[in-house]
């Protein structure tokens, strides 16, 4: 039986995730065998800025066969239980959490109604999850072995993405994925518009049936050869740069490792803080239209503290948008070649993850790829816009007006129509699970998706809560005081004090005996070094 040949062009996290996952998912599946190769340039610089994931990453690890503890050890990894948002509403030090582990009372969950009919004096997230307090206490999500109580809390990971790519490369090549370190100099095309082969600097001619473009924003195949348009979405997300910085713990260790990602709003964007086992990674995501690179660098240094003055910084340029068709002819684009949304909710790796998982399910064992591409492209477009809506919402709900940037993101034209329709609808009735069933909210337009001149499903995108459902929306909406005025009108201003459910209070009472401090767990089980707290002042 002739095997199907797959050539992945480009490495990094996207390329090696594709190689390792496809090899594992398609191996011994009873259909035609698959030969996978990957070519990457030896000269492309690798940027390690720290990466945060969502819980779905555990599916990739399970399919590839990576033990989570081994993963933590090899990728400088730590646990992530939530995202903490600081200064997003008023800029006065307020914060809220988007936690992963929430409680839903059955058969009818009235948590939101109970909170809205109270005085809302306790943050909504603390009435539905123990994780905000667990995060404030700096505890691991894994209960101690001798604890009589507690279950592991839902978590994702922080990691060094370069080490993750190296780990996947080692696994994939050991299982038969062919690895070429070479430069692609030319792409050979068929008269019908398909890609036939790539030619390399060393004289190789690499043929394949299916090509996967993981060449980043360069988009060597999907753009340069197949001319598939990039759909610009920067009118709704204005940030286009990131100033990055790493703070080694040998240089400055605060005495703890936070079990969450922090996103703190600054003058012209926001800073991520991603704690790893050996360092803290920061990045100031900002709009170059509102702040210069020099001023952005000064702002992130001031944010981190005096100990950051001597540390090197880097600059990452990006563009928010997506390829009109991620899969065109016999080429599938993944990673930055396919799409990009700023990493406010840690969806960068997830979109690559989603692409390769769906490609495995829609793998073209036969020659006719069009029906499979039809479905793949629809799923990727729906999920892109679902994420876009959710990230857009973080900006649109702010009350900040202290800088030109924050005043601009509040303007009506910076809210996309899908999100605006959701917000208008939810001012009539509170969000509920039924709102996320093949979602099409009154007020949304029927503008079709771009065609790129190819057949496909071009209906407007719909939100099916594939990644952000009711609990995620509630975390952001109510963390940013949505429906505050409506609640006063609906329920009056004299409302009873907010009550935290007793089962949450009881679990939190036992939490210090159930869960270890995050850094203690990492030292005991993942091999993290025992750094001494730095006496220098700073974050």
Q: Please list the alpha-helical segments (H only) found in 34-159.
A: 57-64, 68-74, 111-116, 125-128, 131-137
Decide: 456 and 325 in contact? Cβ < 8 Å: yes
> Considering the domain boundaries, does residue 518 fall inside one?
no
pLDDT band at 521 (very low <50, low <70, confident <90, very high): very high
Q: Are residues 303 and 450 in the same domain?
A: no
pLDDT band at 145 (very low <50, low <70, confident <90, very high): confident
183-197, 427-441, 489-503: which has the minimum mean pLDDT?
Answer: 427-441
Decide: 172 and 16 in contact? Cβ < 8 Å: yes
3-state secondary structure of 272: strand
Cα 14 to Cα 291, 340, 362: the distances in Å are: 31, 12, 18
80 is catalytic: yes
Q: Are residues 182 and 306 in the same domain?
A: no
Q: Which residues fall within 8 angstroms of residue 335, CB to CB, at 6 or more apart?
A: 10, 12, 13, 14, 15, 214, 216, 351, 352, 355
Q: Are residues 389 and 480 in the same domain?
A: yes
CB atoms within 10 A of CB 246: 21
Given a cut of 80, is residue 536 above it in pLDDT? no
Q: Are residues 215 and 348 in the same domain?
A: yes
Helix (H) or strand (E) holding 393: helix 370-396
* Domain's final residue, options 449, 474, 491: 491
> Considering the domain boundaries, does residue 284 fall inside one?
yes
| Percent residues over pLDDT 70 in the chain | 97
Given a cut of 60, is residue 422 above it in pLDDT? yes
Q: Are residues 441 and 394 in the same domain?
A: yes
71: containing domain: 4-76+159-231+325-369
> Of 80, 84, 280, 325, which residue is the catalytic one?
80
- Mean pLDDT for the chain overall: 94
Q: Are residues 216 and 89 in the same domain?
A: no
Rounded (5°) CA angle 285-286-289: 160
Q: Are residues 310 and 439 in the same domain?
A: no
| Spatial distance between the Cα atoms of 104 and 106, rounded to a whole number of angstroms | 6
Please give the pLDDT value at position 105.
Answer: 82
> Considering the domain boundaries, does residue 519 fall inside one?
no
Q: Are residues 165 and 66 in the same domain?
A: yes
Q: What is the CATH number of the domain that holds 223?
A: 3.50.50.60
* pLDDT mean over 509-531: 95
> Considering the domain boundaries, does residue 396 fall inside one?
yes
Q: Give the tens place of pLDDT for each residue, 359-392.
A: 999 999 999 999 999 999 999 999 999 999 999 9
Q: Which residues fall within 8 angstroms of residue 94, CB to CB, at 6 or more apart?
A: 86, 87, 88
Q: Are residues 226 and 246 in the same domain?
A: no
Q: Are residues 90 and 176 in the same domain?
A: no
Q: Are residues 399 and 484 in the same domain?
A: yes
> Considering the domain boundaries, does residue 220 fall inside one?
yes
Q: Give the tens place of pLDDT for each residue, 147-191.
A: 555 689 999 999 999 999 999 999 999 999 999 999 999 999 999
Q: Which residues fall within 8 angstroms of residue 20, CB to CB, at 6 or more apart?
A: 64, 168, 169, 171, 172, 177
Which residue, among 273, 256, 211, 232, has the nearest Cα to 83 in the 3D structure? 273
> Considering the domain boundaries, does residue 219 fall inside one?
yes
> Considering the domain boundaries, does residue 144 fall inside one?
yes
Number of domains in the chain: 3
Q: Are residues 467 and 414 in the same domain?
A: yes
Q: Give the tens place of pLDDT for each residue, 119-130.
A: 999 999 999 999
* pLDDT mean over 352-359: 98
> Considering the domain boundaries, does residue 34 fall inside one?
yes
């Amino acid at each position: 039986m002739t095997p199907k040949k797959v050539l992945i062009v480009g490495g990094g996290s996207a390329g090696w995730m594709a190689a390792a996952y496809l090899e594992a998912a398609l191996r011994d599946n009873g259909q035609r065998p698959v030969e996978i190769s990957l070519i990457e340039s030896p000269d492309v610089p690798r940027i390690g800025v720290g990466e945060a994931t969502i819980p779905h990453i555990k599916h990739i690890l399970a399919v590839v066969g990576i033990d989570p503890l081994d993963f933590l050890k090899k990728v400088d990894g730590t646990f992530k239980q939530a995202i903490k948002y600081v200064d997003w509403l008023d800029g006065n030090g307020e914060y809220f959490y988007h936690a992963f582990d929430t409680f839903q009372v059955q058969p009818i969950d009235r948590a939101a109604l109970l909170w809205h009919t109270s005085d809302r004096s306790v943050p909504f997230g603390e009435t539905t999850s123990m994780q905000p307090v667990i995060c404030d206490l700096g505890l691991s999500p894994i209960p101690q072995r001798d604890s009589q109580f507690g279950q592991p809390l839902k978590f994702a990971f922080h990691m060094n993405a370069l080490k993750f790519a190296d780990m996947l490369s080692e696994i994939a090549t050991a299982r038969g994925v062919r690895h070429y370190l070479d430069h692609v100099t030319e792409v050979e095309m068929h008269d019908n518009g398909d890609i036939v082969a790539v030619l390399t600097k060393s004289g190789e001619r690499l043929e394949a049936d299916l090509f996967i473009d993981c060449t980043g924003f360069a988009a060597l195949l999907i753009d340069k050869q197949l001319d598939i348009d990039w759909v610009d979405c920067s009118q709704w997300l204005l940030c286009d740069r990131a100033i990055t910085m790493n703070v080694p713990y040998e240089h400055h260790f605060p005495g703890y490792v936070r079990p969450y990602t922090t996103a703190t709003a600054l003058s012209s964007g926001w800073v991520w803080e991603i704690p790893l086992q050996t360092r803290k990674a920061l990045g100031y995501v900002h709009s170059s239209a509102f702040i210069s690179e020099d001023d952005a660098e000064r702002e992130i240094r001031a944010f981190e503290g005096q100990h950051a003055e001597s540390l090197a910084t880097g600059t990452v340029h990006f563009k928010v948008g997506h390829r009109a068709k991620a899969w065109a002819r016999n080429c599938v684009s993944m990673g930055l070649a396919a799409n990009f949304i700023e990493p406010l909710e840690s969806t960068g790796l997830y979109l690559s993850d989603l692409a390769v998982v769906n490609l495995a399910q829609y793998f073209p064992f036969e020659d006719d790829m069009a029906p499979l591409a039809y479905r793949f492209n629809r799923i990727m477009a729906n999920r892109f816009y679902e994420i876009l809506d959710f990230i857009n919402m973080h900006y649109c709900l702010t009350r900040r007006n202290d800088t030109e940037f924050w005043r601009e993101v509040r303007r009506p034209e910076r809210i996309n129509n899908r999100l605006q329709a959701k917000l208008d609808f939810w001012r009539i009735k509170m969000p509920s699970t039924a709102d996320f069933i093949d979602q099409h909210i009154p007020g949304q337009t029927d503008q079709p998706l771009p065609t790129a001149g190819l057949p496909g499903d071009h209906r407007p995108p719909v939100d099916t809560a594939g990644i952000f459902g009711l609990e995620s929306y509630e975390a952001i909406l109510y963390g940013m005081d949505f429906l505050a005025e409506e609640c006063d009108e609906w329920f009056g201003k004299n409302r009873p004090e907010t009550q935290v459910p007793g089962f949450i209070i009881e679990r939190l009472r036992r939490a210090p005996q159930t869960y270890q401090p995050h850094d203690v767990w990492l030292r005991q089980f993942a091999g993290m070094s025992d750094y001494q707290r730095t006496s220098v002042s700073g974050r």
